[in-house]
Structure formats: structure tokens, C-alpha cells
């Protein structure tokens, strides 16, 4: 694991190429930094955006965000263009009702909305709610297999990869890993990305507060054992001002 930026899913300056249909997953325990990272990436997306905010307190939220209401029966089938202001990009937000008898169909209808619109970013907080292990609904399955065809960038966050369907990790272009204490969760990621489980566990254990590992599935393997391997990289915590600005933006700030 090296502290160096290279190309792959990232350009030569180390900047994420986010606008052409990527799947990005962020895993880590509560308050480890995964939601801030997911929101930071979401904020950087240049076009229309939609968020499924399962807990209802992750955001983004505020006066510039259009809230979607109801269940699969009520949710729009088409992007609500009538709510667009002066041709500006739109951000939609859906907070599902955990008590809804159609809760999986409800959130899948929002995924369908992102796919039908195309050219957008979809942020899902608590992706196990939308893609539970072994029970991925139809539109989420389409997203995981065909997001590039619809030019939808998906940013998928969760505390525990073991509760999320294996396709989420398997289809991710980039995986961000924050502090993670459960052995099975570390093993799930290591096995899926093809990394030595012991080495990966040591890398996670060595993380300081809000530090993270970043795995780039599109970074080529080193040509030989003597060459550095830039697929898995250890990064310091985001600067405090960046984290605060991201949090404030997600909760209604500018």
C-alpha cells in the first residue's frame, strides 16, 4: 500500500473521473468518515443528482433540494423537470419510510428514476437497505450491471459490506475503506478485490481517525513483483475544513 496518486479511475493529477458512469463504494463504521467522503464525491458531480437518505439525517438537504414523497405508487416515473430553476442542475432527495410494506420497491423506484433520467449521480446512504445481500431488486440490479450505458455514477455507502449484496463490491470501480472492526467485513472486501486478507486487515487496523484505504479496480496490476502496486493506497484524513464544509453543505449550508 503506497501513499502515491496514479492514473486508473483517476486522471494524471489524481482527480477522480466521476462524470462518465462510475460505481464508487464507501465502507466503514459509524462516524469513520464514509458518509462525508460519499457526500464530498456527490457534491463534486457536475450534473443532476439524486440521493436516497435512508436515515433521514445524512443529506444533502435544504431549500435547494427537491424532496420526493410517497411510496412506489406515488413516486414520479420521470424526472420532475417542472421543479427545475433557471436551467440549473437539480438535486433530488428521497427519505424512505422504513415501515412501508413496499420499502424495497419504494427505493428501487428511485433507482429507476435515476436510470431513466441518465447523466446523473445517485448517492445511497445505507446501501444495504437498497441492495440487501441476496435480494437485489430489478432496477438496482440494472444499475449495478448497466450504469455506464445510462451514464449514471453511483456512490454507495454502508457500515458493513457483509450485509450488502456482493455485486456492490464486485462492480465497484473504486472502494473507499474507513475504520472497520468486524473481521468478516474486512475479509469480504479483501476476498472480493483479490487482496491478501492478512495484509488487508493490517492496513485497516493501521488507519488513524478518518484515514482510509482506496482501492482502484481500474488501476493495472504491477508488471512484476518488484514494481509498486498502486491499486490499494493509504490516505490521510480529509482536511478538517473540507470535512466541515461538506457536512455543512449536506445539512443545508452553502
- What are the tens digits of pLDDT across the range 149-200? 999 999 999 999 999 999 999 999 999 999 999 999 999 999 999 999 999 9
For the chain, which domains are there?
A: 23-250 (3.40.50.300)
Bridge partners, residue 234, by sequence: 213
- Cα–Cα–Cα angle for 5, 17, 22, nearest 5°? 115
- Position 252 scores a pLDDT of 82
pLDDT value at 242 more than 70? yes
Band of pLDDT at residue 230, cut at 50, 70 and 90: confident
Q: Exposed e or buried b for every residue in 220-250, given b needs 16+ CB within 10 A?
A: eeeeeeeeeebbbbbbebbeeeebebbbebb
Low-confidence winner among 18-27, 66-75, 203-212 (lowest mean pLDDT): 18-27
Band of pLDDT at residue 207, cut at 50, 70 and 90: very high
Main-chain phi, psi angles of 115, to 5 degrees = -65, -40
Band of pLDDT at residue 210, cut at 50, 70 and 90: very high
pLDDT value at 6 more than 60? no
Q: Measure CA 95 to chain center.
A: 17
Amino acid at each position: 500500500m503506497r501513499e502515491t496518486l496514479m492514473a486508473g479511475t483517476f486522471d494524471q493529477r489524481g482527480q477522480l473521473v466521476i462524470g462518465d458512469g462510475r460505481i464508487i463504494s464507501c465502507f466503514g463504521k459509524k462516524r469513520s468518515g464514509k458518509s462525508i467522503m460519499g457526500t464530498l464525491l456527490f457534491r463534486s458531480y457536475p450534473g443532476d443528482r439524486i440521493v436516497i437518505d435512508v436515515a433521514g439525517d445524512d443529506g444533502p438537504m435544504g431549500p435547494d433540494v427537491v424532496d420526493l414523497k410517497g411510496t412506489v405508487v406515488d413516486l414520479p416515473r420521470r424526472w420532475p423537470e417542472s421543479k427545475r430553476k433557471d436551467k440549473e442542475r437539480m438535486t433530488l432527495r428521497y427519505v424512505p419510510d422504513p415501515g412501508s410494506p413496499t420499502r424495497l420497491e419504494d427505493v428501487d423506484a428511485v433507482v429507476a428514476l435515476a436510470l431513466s433520467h441518465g447523466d446523473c449521480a445517485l448517492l445511497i446512504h445505507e446501501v444495504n437497505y437498497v441492495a440487501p445481500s441476496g435480494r437485489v431488486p430489478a432496477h438496482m440490479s440494472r444499475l449495478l450491471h448497466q450504469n455506464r450505458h445510462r451514464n449514471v455514477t453511483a456512490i454507495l455507502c454502508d457500515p458493513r459490506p457483509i450485509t450488502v449484496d456482493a455485486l456492490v463490491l464486485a462492480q465497484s470501480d473504486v472502494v473507499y475503506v474507513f475504520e472497520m472492526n468486524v473481521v468478516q467485513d474486512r475479509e469480504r472486501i479483501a476476498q472480493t478485490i483479490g487482496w491478501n486478507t492478512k495484509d488487508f486487515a493490517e492496513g485497516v487496523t493501521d488507519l488513524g481517525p478518518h484515514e482510509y484505504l482506496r482501492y482502484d479496480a481500474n488501476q493495472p496490476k504491477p508488471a512484476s513483483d518488484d514494481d509498486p502496486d498502486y491499486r490499494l493506497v493509504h490516505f490521510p484524513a480529509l482536511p478538517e475544513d473540507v470535512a466541515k464544509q461538506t457536512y455543512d453543505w449536506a445539512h443545508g449550508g452553502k
